[in-house]
Amino acid sequence: MAPALATASLAFTAGCVACLAHLHLAPTGYSPVRNAVSEYGVGAYARWYRAQAACAGAAGLLLAGALARSVHPTPRRVIALLIVLAVARVAIGWFPTDPLGTTEPTRNGAVHLVLAAAAFTSASWAAVALRRVQHGQPALGWAMAACAIGTMLALRRSPLKPWLGLIERGYYVAMLAWLALVAARLA
């Protein structure tokens, strides 16, 4: 059962990557260096943003199931953190970030930030906690954590602000690589 769940997780991770590739190639007007990935969730390409978020959530949930059924014992906190990641990623697609130029934060924008923080934190923590002997790759968790902190700092008025999109995409690359690597080791 673990290999089947891991294989399904890989498929959903690939789906997430495909949606993100489409968003980055589409004529959105967004810069991958300056604009956050969440900005794709506002406007004409919102369905693609929701699809990538749902795929990432499904990948996380299926990976939690694969790890729970793995012959190697997995810390319960890793499984719980992957479930948090799954719920946060699926929900975030339905709470778009505030559009560029918004002066007053909206309720949806505030919920979006909470869900993003939950997803960034849970994925990073799960990746750091899953040791290599348990099919993990903690170095990718540390990379996620560094990019998550960088993203938080870039959201503030800091010298990192012009690099927000690039820093956040570093998190996405590390998260998707970790999901794929762990699932491939379990498949």
Other CB atoms closer than 10 Å to residue 112's CB: what's the count? 22
CA 155 and chain centroid, separation:
17
Residue range 2-33, pLDDT digits in tens = 999 999 999 999 999 999 999 999 999 999 99
Residue range 33-78, pLDDT digits in tens = 999 999 999 989 999 999 999 999 999 999 999 999 987 788 899 9
Radius of gyration of the chain (CA): 16
Domain boundaries, the chain: 2-186
